[in-house]
Amino acid sequence: MSEIDQKPSFELIERSLSSRGRIRILYLLAKHEMLNITSLAKEAHLSFEVTRRHLGNLLELGIVEEHRLGRIRIFRLNKRHPMTRKILALFSLKEKETK
């Protein structure tokens, strides 16, 4: 059983939604699918460092994935995470099928 499956749902919800900044980041990733850290910071009206810290928390929870393209770090929601559909539903956004 993975660490994600062992964490109680309440703890995941609390840690992922306990900050306005994290909520903004999750909304933007749900809306745009993939964004780099600079775009996320700009659109969420957060500093680069605050955005980086929030993304670190979301990466630790497994809700967000990071992909590197050279020096560029791209972030997106982890479609395999059990919270992803709930997050998309929370923001009333339909999950887009990946091919």
Confidence label for 2 from pLDDT (cuts 50, 70 and 90) = low
Q: What is the pLDDT of residue 70?
A: 93
Mean pLDDT of 24-52: 95
Given a cut of 60, whether residue 7 has pLDDT beyond it is no
Residue ranges covered by each domain of the chain: 20-90
Contact 77, 31 (CB under 8 A): no
pTM for the whole thing? 0.80
- Architecture of domain 20-90 in this structure: Orthogonal Bundle (1.10)
By C-alpha distance, which of 61, 82, 69 is closest to 35?
Answer: 69
DSSP H helix total and E strand total for the chain: 6, 3
